[in-house]
Chains A and B, each alone.
Chain A
Amino acid sequence: MPDLMNHVEFRTALENAIKGKSANKAPFSIAWASGKLSRDHLARWAENHYHYVGPFADYLAYVYARMPERYTEAKDFLLANMYEEEIGGDRHTDLLIRFAEACGTTREHVIDPDNMTATTRGLQSWCYSVAMREDPIVAVAGLVVGLESQVPSIYRRQTPTLREKYKFSDEEVEFFDLHIVSDEIHGERGYQIVLEHANTVELQQRCLKICEVGAQMRLLYTTALYWDYVAKDVPISEIEGVESKVQQGERQLLQA
């Protein structure tokens, strides 16, 4: 039986759990980072990504409803997170749709659930399942620490790629820009909540496990995007050929 970790040890363990090393080599991520995707491929990514991140406030609403009343700070954080996703400024999914339209698809096509893969539907279902069924602190670990907190560092590196290699305008890639600030706040406050309230060995271990599973789900989702949409145009041998040339950081795209 592991020991109860102090905050420093537990934070380090969480950070290690969410690295999801195997996802770094997802072929879709490598193709994106190396400029091999077409705008049509990116449109398919946006259509799928919408159904993963679009319901994020819905996921959090389930966690909010089940969070114990005495955890006032945690409840307020979830409420603020939902507000900022939807109406704090531009609705985040509207910015994703703006990017999708720049890739050549339409709002109607993006929001139509028939246009996501079965694997994306699986990731979305996993997020709902975590929100509805897990201990609310474990759910914050899975959804906020495990998934949302990863976004800023990834998008900070990837936004220049979208501008420089794919030639998108500033407005077209605003979806990637905005997450740098808002998700940094959300991720850090998520860490604070989990560190404070996961105060038993069992809870800490469940938080670590759900972060590992989240990394696996991201890998599954990202890998399916390659095989479903890209493989027919960019063979895997070509991806493997550039893999060693792509910076590790750039390969982390789409993990969150």
Chain B
Amino acid sequence: MPKVTFHRDGHTYQGEVAENTNLVVRAGIRQFPYPHLRYGCGMGKCGKCACRVLKGAEQLPEPNWKEKKRLGPGLDRGYRLICQLWLSHDIELGQDDIPIEPLAPAIP
């Protein structure tokens, strides 16, 4: 089972999740990393769930089209949209106190 280490507001939280887990779905049903993970629309638009991947980035799939459109250069700084990721490996994430500002919506 993937181990998740999550940093936010100077605190560290740890938990195990089932294979192929989406952390925004978990938070949405009131399980770890609830209530620590900040998230919003769940559809890759608002950017509120964005986190820096501190460890385990190499195990993740390539960013999808939503992440590329919303995060742009933020991807190079290690940010990913957590609502777009299904985890199968250990990962360590850090979420900024202030949400990253997403780029313009994909479709006007």
- List chain A positions with a Cβ less than 8 A from chain B: 84, 88-90, 98, 170-171, 174, 177-178, 181-182, 184-185, 188-189, 192
Contact = CB atoms under 8 A, between A and B. Distances in A.
Interface string B16-27: 000000101100
Contacts of B106: 171, 174
B104 interface: no
Interface string B69-82: 00000000000000
A89 B46 contact: yes
Nearest to A90: B45
B56 interface: no
B28 A178 contact: no
Given A170-B64, A185-B42, A188-B28, 15 more contacts: A84-B41, A84-B42, A88-B40, A90-B41, A90-B105, A170-B65, A171-B106, A177-B66, A181-B25, A181-B43, A184-B25, A184-B28, A185-B24, A188-B25, A189-B30
A89 B41 contact: yes
Contact of A185 (B28, B44, B107): B28
Given A89-B43, A181-B42, A184-B22, A192 B29 contact: yes
B41 A185 contact: no
B75 to A, nearest CB: 16
A77 B94 CA distance: 28
A98 B106 CA distance: 12
A181 B83 contact: yes
A217 B2 CA distance: 40
Interface size class of B (residues with CB under 8 A): 20 to 34
B42 to A, nearest CB: 4
A170 B84 CA distance: 14
Contacts of B42: 84, 88-89, 178, 181-182, 185
B43 A178 contact: yes
A215 B42 CA distance: 27
Nearest to A182: B42
Contacts of B22: 181, 184
22 contacts: A84-B42, A88-B40, A88-B41, A88-B43, A90-B41, A90-B45, A98-B107, A170-B64, A171-B65, A177-B43, A178-B42, A181-B22, A181-B24, A181-B25, A182-B43, A184-B25, A184-B28, A185-B25, A185-B29, A185-B42, A189-B28, A192-B29
A189 B44 CA distance: 21
Contacts of A181: 22, 24-25, 42-43, 83
B104 to A, nearest CB: 13
Contacts of B28: 184-185, 188-189
A178 B65 CA distance: 13
Nearest to A170: B65
Contacts of A89: 40-43, 45-46
